[in-house]
Each structure stands twice: as structure tokens, then as C-alpha cells.
Amino acid sequence: MRRCLLAVHAHPDDESSKGAGTVARYAAEGVHCVLVCCTGGEEGSILNPAMERPEVAERLPEVRLDELAEAARIIGYHEVVMLGYRDSGMPDTEANARPDNFANAPLDEAVGRLVGILRRTSPQVVLTYGDDQKGYPHPDHLRVHEVTMPAVEAAADPARYAEAGPPWQVAKVYWSVWARARMVGLHEKFLELGLESPYTPEWLDRAGQDERITTSVALHGFEDVRRDALLAHATQVDPTSPFWFGLPWDVARTVHPFDDWVLARSSVPTELPEADLFAGL
């Protein structure tokens, strides 16, 4: 049986900041990798001063989709599927009130769209966002969780969304997390090199969910994928950002070279902690 991994993300660039090295590793091993992007990122601003040009601003939604295609190529995704909703923006904004945004979409409709994708692509492993997003509670990130989990359940039920194709049982669902150990390690490297760390004590206090981590995927040979994919999102990522690029890269790539995950549900027995998303399959 073909091995398949499917990742559900909220906006163009989320696929690069969360788990890019993991997906690249499995793609290189022959796993069919599918990206579902729920919105077009229409509410994103230009965050890189070098891209603050009228011709870019006028067609930012199209530019962001071009950036997504390039980042997906760098990571190794074989297929990119747009779920078809508009960026919801932040709470109390005009965009957040629009009926065509992801956060306001009828839940049954959005779940049904994802069920159709799950049944067509037949992934054994699904990557998505968790139930604790206090660090960055963007409405679209919250909605990714609210849609993905019931879609995985519904995809396996032949009585639900019958028009979406034959049922498919996803074997394992993982939630992406950033380990506090990684943040602390980066912070300490900044200080060791005499550099100002962007990881303030207040930031570190709320960072990480280490106690929930079940699975750490080694990125040996794929440490640079996150950086390269992020840089493909030239409108969204400032290459001078100290958060992403403040350390010399030969140093940064050695700090916690793992992606960390929480195994949220599994229909197969697996021994924790894991080092392989496909363990037990």
C-alpha cells in the first residue's frame, strides 16, 4: 500500500514554519505528501520591507499563492490542495465578519470538503494543529483543529458524506508543537555568541508543550528545509528577522534538529515515545 502523509495548514507560509523538515524527510523516503491549505492568506500584510512595492501589494493574494507553490516544491509536497476559503483575519476586523471566510464557514461544509480530500488521497498519517493554541490563537488556526479532527472521524464512517467517496480510516493524527527545549536552546546560543536574543523571558514562559510531546522526528540532512521554504515566502518573511535568522546558520541548524509532535489519535499500537510518524504501520 502506498504510504501517504497529509498536512492541514491555515495559510500560505504555515506549511513552512511547522513541520517542513519532517515532510521533506518523508517525501525523500518515497511517501506521497499532500498539503491542504485552508485559506489563501488574503489578509496577510507585506512583512518584508524589500517587497514593499506597488506591483506586489496590488496582487498580494496571487503572489502569496506563487510563494506557496515554491515553498511546497522546496519541501517536497507532491500535491497542494486549496480548501477554498478566505483568510479570516483577526478578531474584531472587517475580514473576520465576512461570511466567506474560513472561521465563519458552516462547519459541516468545511468538514465535508476535507473528508473528500482524505478519502481521495488515503493518508495513513495526518498532521494538523492541536487543541492548545494559546500562544497564537488566530481564528483560522483554531478552525483548522475544529475541522480536521471531525473530518478524520467522518472520513471513516460510510454513513457520512457518502457523496465524498468510499470511507477511509486515517491511522494516526499528529498535532504540531514547538518544544520549549528548542526555544531555550536557541536563546542560550544567542547569549553564548554575545547576541541579543529575540526570545524574551516572557516569551519563553509561555513557549512549548514539552510534557505533551510523544514523537520527535530527526531532521538529519533536512535541517535547512524550514529556512529555505520560509524564504520562499518573500512577502511574509523578512530575511533579517532575528527570530528566524538571527543566529549564524551553521550554529542554528545544530540546535534541537528535530520536529516535535503530539500523537493525538491512533488506530494502531505504537510504543511511545516515537521517532517515526509511521511507527506501527
Tell me the DSSP string of 122-160. Answer: --SEEEE--S--TT---HHHHHHHHHHHHHHHHHT-TTS
* Percentage of the residues of the chain whose pLDDT score is greater than 70: 100
Closest to 216 measured CA to CA, from 21, 30, 31: 21
- Does residue 85 lie within any of the structural domains? yes
Q: How confident is the model at residue 24 (pLDDT cuts 50, 70, 90)?
A: very high
Q: Is the pLDDT of residue 132 over 80?
A: yes
Q: How confident is the model at residue 196 (pLDDT cuts 50, 70, 90)?
A: very high
**Residue 32 burial (CB < 10 Å; 0-12/13-18/19+)?**
middle
CA torsion sign for 97, 161, 12, 225 is positive
Number of domains in the chain: 1
Q: Bridge partners of 265?
A: 173
Q: Is the pLDDT of residue 192 over 90?
A: yes
- Does residue 276 lie within any of the structural domains? no
Prediction pTM value = 0.95
Domain carrying residue 93: 4-266
- Output the average pLDDT for the chain: 95
- Does residue 274 lie within any of the structural domains? no
- Does residue 273 lie within any of the structural domains? no
What is the average pLDDT across 223-252?
95
For the chain, strand residue ranges (E) read 4-9, 32-39, 79-85, 125-128, 172-177, 215-218, 258-266
Q: Is the pLDDT of residue 88 over 80?
A: yes
State which H helix or E strand residue 57 sits in.
Answer: helix 54-57
Q: How confident is the model at residue 20 (pLDDT cuts 50, 70, 90)?
A: very high
| pLDDT on residue 201 | 82
- Does residue 272 lie within any of the structural domains? no
Q: What is the CATH number of the domain that holds 253?
A: 3.40.50.10320
What is the average pLDDT across 68-85?
98
| pLDDT on residue 133 | 79
- Does residue 21 lie within any of the structural domains? yes
- Does residue 16 lie within any of the structural domains? yes
Digit-coded pLDDT (tens) for 47-58: 999 999 999 999
* Cell 528566524 found at: 244
Closest to 98 measured CA to CA, from 36, 140, 133: 140
Digit-coded pLDDT (tens) for 133-144: 777 789 999 999
Higher pLDDT, 1 or 260: 260
Q: Is the pLDDT of residue 3 over 80?
A: yes
Contact 192, 31 (CB under 8 A): no
